[in-house]
Amino acid sequence: MLASPRPLPRPAASLNCLPFQASAPFEAVGAPKQLGVPRPSFRGGAAAPRLGVMVVGADSPPRRGRNELGRNYYQFAYVTNDFDHAMKEIGAIHGVSEYMIMRDADFATSATSSAVCHFALAYKNGVQYEIIQPLSGDDHVYRQILPDSGYATLFHHIGQHFDTRAQFDEALAAAKSKWPVPIGYETMGGVYAYADARKDTGHHIELFHFPPGSHLDAVPHN
């Protein structure tokens, strides 16, 4: 459930993180720092997730320029059963030190169901990385490839963003003609769906459309 990359404000010189306007005091999470930012509402009546930026390393690398990928695939997403460990591990592998974090995010998976997950998002060299830990509810699409015990972080899907709802609807119809679509719904002013393309590709494909100005414009570039 992601947004097309958009330009970010230049970071404050004294901070190795995005200059968000916090709506609540900063919250420390272990050794890394997590900065509070306005909390989005995922669905009517649901508790807002905790949203922030985590600085994993002592120093943040310089930001890259905006990438203009439009409808192209640009997201690699992982599922895990240990969110904080996975952020550090994926960050070390891909050179990511800052994430936008949404803990305990309660979001609709259909008109009658929802799931609760932790999400982390970050850009690195024009690629968006997502880390998801399923927690409860209708989270089978994420949980099904994880082991019953022992730590794991596994590749789950690639993501494709569409500039308009019409483009999304056309792509979703094409996906449904080929593969099962286990979850998908409107949320936070946009829309998303997962196609289970594992029989052909070995992974899921997420299709999504979020208009400019969505809550995910704040995903940091590393």
- Cβ atoms within 10 Å, residue 164: 11
Burial of 8 (0-12, 13-18, 19+ CB in 10 A): middle
Dihedral, CA of residue 168, residue 169, residue 172 and residue 176, to nearest 10: 180
pTM: 0.71
Q: How far is CA 127 from CA 30, 219, 221, in A?
A: 27, 12, 9
**Going from the N-terminus, what domains does the chain have, and what CATH number goes with each?**
27-218 (3.10.180.10)
Output the tens digit of pLDDT for each of the chain's 222 residues.
544 444 433 333 332 333 323 233 323 233 333 333 334 444 544 444 555 555 554 344 444 333 333 357 889 999 999 999 999 999 999 999 999 999 999 999 999 999 999 999 999 998 999 999 999 999 999 999 999 999 999 999 999 999 899 999 999 999 999 999 999 999 888 999 999 999 999 999 999 999 888 877 889 999
Q: Rounded to the nearest 5 degrees, what angle is found at the Cα of 95, between the Cα atoms of 18 and 154?
A: 110
End-to-end CA distance of the chain: 20
Q: Point out which residues pair with 113 in neighbouring strands.
A: none
